[in-house]
Amino acid sequence: MKIVRADVIVTCPGRNFVTLKIVTDEGVYGIGDATLNGRELAVASYLRDHVCPMLIGRDPGRIEDTWQLLYRGAYWRRGPVTMTAIAAVDMALWDILGKVAGLPLYRLLGGASRDAVMVYGHATGRDLGEALERYAEHIEAGYQAIRVQCGIPNMRSVYGVAKSGGSYEPATKGAVEEQRWSTEKYLDFVPTLFAAVREKFGFDTHLLHDVHHRLTPIEAARLGKAVEPYRLFWLEDPTPAENQAGFRLIREHTVTPIAVGEVFNSIWDCKQLIEEQLIDYIRATLTHAGGITHLKRVAEFASLYQVRTGCHGASDLSPVCMGAALHFDLWAPNFGVQEYMGFPEPALEVFPHAWRFERGTMHPGEAPGHGVDIDEALAACYPYESAYLPVARLEDGTLWNW
């Protein structure tokens, strides 16, 4: 079997997605997600202009060799654009392998380690009352794990909260949105939020929260310590992770579990964090961290140190990533939880899928491969729309981590 075509499809059914479709001489094809939020066209070009021509004529079954070729062969290793492009190829090749074998991806990986995948949903409110209402709705829908984010008194905007009170989408069309941030106001308020959740709903649900890189290590340590009584499932991205050793400071002060890694693109981004057991959950995703071949390596390495997976699953990772991630989660022996934000309705139509949601858990389905397809004619009805992630500034105007 040989690869005869590799096409990049850019579409915006509610938000932008980049998809790679690899077609073989036997008519079997596979698809992979190549979406890098706010930088979509860079990956599309990397694939179209540099990677796709290299794939023509190759045996689609040589997945590992193709991964090594694209990683080592580029000479310029790692980085989000490169690793997202490699991930898309890898995902599409595993999809082809599953279709050829007539088996769902999770069975190729070694079979199911559990009956279904626990997912966490997002309860977000512009104020405490609204956040508690959304939390109650998630319990009603059967979620066992719920992330809570909430507007901060006297702060104009905050990460993770939709302005309209509907579902949250950070990318904005047109100009880059500037948000303001006050660490002091946030740290003063956020323990109140967790206290209110536990007081109203008890301790039966797993409670998660995303700090979104906003604190310094010592501030993160203070927060982790302050919220210990509310027994969080995890505190996510408490501080930027370029300096992996910085997490030692957090660990020295708190037993609140830490989750990191949605912006990571290779095992080298988390090597020290995992080896020194500075984190509890690794959040790297298939799409941004080199696909199934590489994330499997990360998960296996993490398992040696009792670090569990908690894959990023925001709505800017396409339904293709979601499908593949659910197979990965069903297999991974050290799985922790999977993020699930849902998708805009048109996106679900453009990407017909075998996965299903049932009362806080998901299953990838039994279709061969990863079980997600693309309706190209429908995708063409939603052309790309330029959109950017916001930036954050401190109240005095200093640019901060968004």
Q: Is 159 a catalytic residue?
A: yes
**402/398 Cα distance (integer angstroms):** 12
Neighbours of 251 (CB within 10 A): 17
- 314, 375, 384, 400: which one binds ligand KDG (CB under 6 A): 314
Residues that bind Mg ion (CB under 5 A): 210, 262
Q: Helix or strand or coil: residue 22?
A: strand
Binding-site string for ligand KDG from residue 362 to residue 401, where x marks contact by CB under 6 A and - marks none: ---------------------------x------------
* Nearest Cα to Cα of residue 109 among 287, 261, 292, 323: 292
* Residue (169 or 276) nearer to ligand KDG, CB: 169
Strands 172-173 and 145-150: unpaired
The one of ligand KDG, Mg ion, none whose footprint includes residue 316, by CB under 5 to 8 A per kind, is ligand KDG
Kindly indicate which of the ranges 45-53, 63-71, 309-317, 380-388 contains the residues binding ligand KDG, using the contact rule CB under 6 A: 309-317
Q: Which two tokens stand for residue 202?
A: 């008890």
Contact between 316 and ligand KDG (CB under 6 A)?
yes
Contact between 262 and ligand KDG (CB under 6 A)?
yes
* Residue (311 or 332) nearer to Mg ion, CB: 311
* Nearest Cα to Cα of residue 132 among 120, 144, 123: 123
> Taking the chain, what is the end-to-end CA distance rounded to the nearest angstrom?
46
* Residue (106 or 281) nearer to Mg ion, CB: 281
* Nearest Cα to Cα of residue 143 among 118, 165, 164, 111: 118
Contact between 37 and ligand KDG (CB under 6 A)?
yes
**What's the min distance (Å) between Cβ of 25 and ligand KDG?**
37
Alpha helical stretches, state H, 204-261: 217-226, 247-253
Contact between 33 and ligand KDG (CB under 6 A)?
no
Contact between 339 and ligand KDG (CB under 6 A)?
yes
**391/309 Cα distance (integer angstroms):** 28
* Residue (170 or 371) nearer to ligand KDG, CB: 170
**What's the min distance (Å) between Cβ of 157 and ligand KDG?**
14
Per annotation, catalytic residue among 212, 288, 327, 363: 212
Contact between 42 and ligand KDG (CB under 6 A)?
no
**Residues contacting 347, CB < 8 A, separation 6+:** 13, 14, 15, 17, 315, 318, 319
Per annotation, catalytic residue among 46, 106, 135, 159: 159
* Residue (66 or 318) nearer to ligand KDG, CB: 318
Kindly indicate which of the ranges 136-144, 182-190, 310-318, 347-355 contains the residues binding ligand KDG, using the contact rule CB under 6 A: 310-318
Q: Is 212 a catalytic residue?
A: yes
Please say whether the beta carbons of 339 and 118 come within 8 A: no
Contact between 212 and ligand KDG (CB under 6 A)?
yes
- 40, 90, 210, 373: which one binds ligand KDG (CB under 6 A): 210
Please say whether the beta carbons of 34 and 89 come within 8 A: no
**What's the min distance (Å) between Cβ of 170 and ligand KDG?**
5
Angle at 265 between CA 360 and CA 168, to 5 degrees: 40
* Residue (132 or 235) nearer to Mg ion, CB: 235
* Residue (78 or 213) nearer to Mg ion, CB: 213
Contact between 170 and ligand KDG (CB under 6 A)?
yes
- CA R_g for the chain: 20
**What's the min distance (Å) between Cβ of 212 and Mg ion?**
6
**What's the min distance (Å) between Cβ of 290 and ligand KDG?**
17
347 φ, ψ (degrees, to nearest 5)? -65, -35
* CA distances from residue 128 to 25, 193, 390 in whole angstroms, order as listed: 57, 7, 23
C-alpha atoms less than 13 angstroms from C-alpha of 51 in its C-beta half-sphere: 32
* Nearest Cα to Cα of residue 29 among 72, 83, 77, 89: 89
What residue ranges bind ligand KDG (CB under 6 A)? 37, 170, 210, 212, 262, 312, 314, 316, 339, 389
Catalytic amino acids?
A: 159, 212
